[in-house]
Amino acid sequence: MARRADGGIRLRPVGTHKRRQTAPTYSPAGTGCPAFEQAVENLYKVQNEEAFWTLMGALNYALEMETHVLVPLQTALTVHNMPAPWTEHPVPAEKAKGLQLWTLRNDKGRTWLPLFTSGAAACGDRSTAARPMADYTLQDAMELALSTPGIDGVVLDPWSHSATLDGALLNGLLHAGHTPEEPGDEEADAGKEAARKGCWEQAVECFEKAAELGSAMGLSRLADCIYKGRGTRPGRTQARRMWKEAAESGEVLSMIALGDDCAARGETGRALIWYRKAREAAAHMPDIEYTPQVCLRMAQTETRYTSRKKALALAAEARQGFALLAREQEPDAAQWLAEAEQLIRELTAEPPAQPAAYDMDSLQLD
């Protein structure tokens, strides 16, 4: 209430002011690392070899995405004069050099460095809830564990569904080079490199060779060139047929492309079906090449209508991936990044004020 100049009391509506929604970042203080969290939760449920390799794929994806983690420190709580809580205001990695790490020791005498993918995970136990934290990329944190004497490995999110990685696994994740696994993958990789340089005719030749060798990735990339007329004559009907063939082999980018084609023709229902298929396929082996696209399309076409919070988290993950791909000169990454940023602006825009049914200033108590 507020008193009017004429002595009356002006009533103010209660609870009508809506705070502007803020966009989370792809970080421990924001979205965490959903791909890792989902993979490790699945491993606890099924505990089979396929779930283990899905977890390894999620960790590879986290490394590709330059995911950050929180590393607990063994130091006085006031040494950095930083505001609490530490999970929201961690010590930057460059300032944490030389500070003693806080570790866990199991009943077999092995020592592990805890890494937390989110602030909530770090607050899961009193021993770390108020402890100073350092902010490292996952790669730097893994390398720190390998280079620190007396540490046998890392344990991710130890207070919930956790994953323990010893030195051998850490070395495998950090130093295993990319080697083509299927026939035609080498040619497809050469085509992608040519595309980054803008040499589309050369890229088409490489993708054609890859497709002839049975590479679904090469076939999908070739279809994309044909659909857009890059380095070859455009032919959308032919491209759709090739995408469908690649999609039958589980190629995620082709599913997204088919969804985009349906959306462009106004077939939003069919588009959503393709995006859901892409999400299901990507969940087993996330990759920076296609998972950010899946996140964006699901946020645009479905999640924004069911949960703004979840849609913003998906958009933040997509933005992180597209920014990294744009840095590597990946074709169309800048366009995808612009779409992600536009969606975030739309989701965080303050909703328009609803007109009042009456003039609140005219109400007064005598």
Q: Work out the mean pLDDT of the chain and round it to a whole number.
A: 89
Reduced to 3 states (helix: H, G, I; strand: E, B; else coil), residue 186 is helix
Residue 266 lies in a domain: no
321-330: list long-range contacts, CB under 8 Å, 24+ apart. Answer: 321/65, 321/288, 321/291, 321/292, 321/295, 322/292, 322/296, 324/64, 324/65, 324/66, 324/288, 325/288, 325/292, 328/196, 329/196, 329/197, 330/196
Residue 205 lies in a domain: no
Q: Is the dihedral of CA 85, 91, 96, 101 positive or negative?
A: positive
- Give the pLDDT band (50/70/90) at residue 85: confident
In this predicted structure, what is the pLDDT of residue 176? 77
Number of separate domains in the chain: 2
Residue 260 lies in a domain: no
- Give the pLDDT band (50/70/90) at residue 150: very high
- Tell me the pLDDT tens digit for each residue of 319-344: 999 999 999 999 999 999 999 999 99
Range of the domain at 87: 34-175
Helices (H) and strands (E) in the chain, counts: 16, 9
The C-alpha R_g of the chain, in whole angstroms, comes to 25
Assess contact for 134 and 145: CB atoms under 8 A.
no
What is the pTM assigned to this prediction? 0.86
Among 175, 194, 225, give the residue marking a domain's end: 175
Assess contact for 363 and 11: CB atoms under 8 A.
yes
Residues 39 and 171 in one domain: yes
- Tell me the pLDDT tens digit for each residue of 223-259: 999 999 999 999 999 999 999 999 999 999 999 999 9
Report how far residue 55's alpha carbon sits from residue 211's, in angstroms, rounded to the nearest whole number.
29
Residue 224 lies in a domain: no
Q: What is the mean pLDDT of residues 156-166?
A: 94
Residue 271 lies in a domain: no
Q: What is the mean pLDDT of residues 91-113?
A: 94
Among 175, 195, 210, give the residue marking a domain's end: 175
Residue 328 lies in a domain: yes
- Tell me the pLDDT tens digit for each residue of 294-308: 999 999 999 999 999
In this predicted structure, what is the pLDDT of residue 350? 57
- Give the pLDDT band (50/70/90) at residue 70: very high
Residue 186 lies in a domain: no
Residue 273 lies in a domain: no
Among 175, 200, 219, give the residue marking a domain's end: 175
In this predicted structure, what is the pLDDT of residue 181? 74
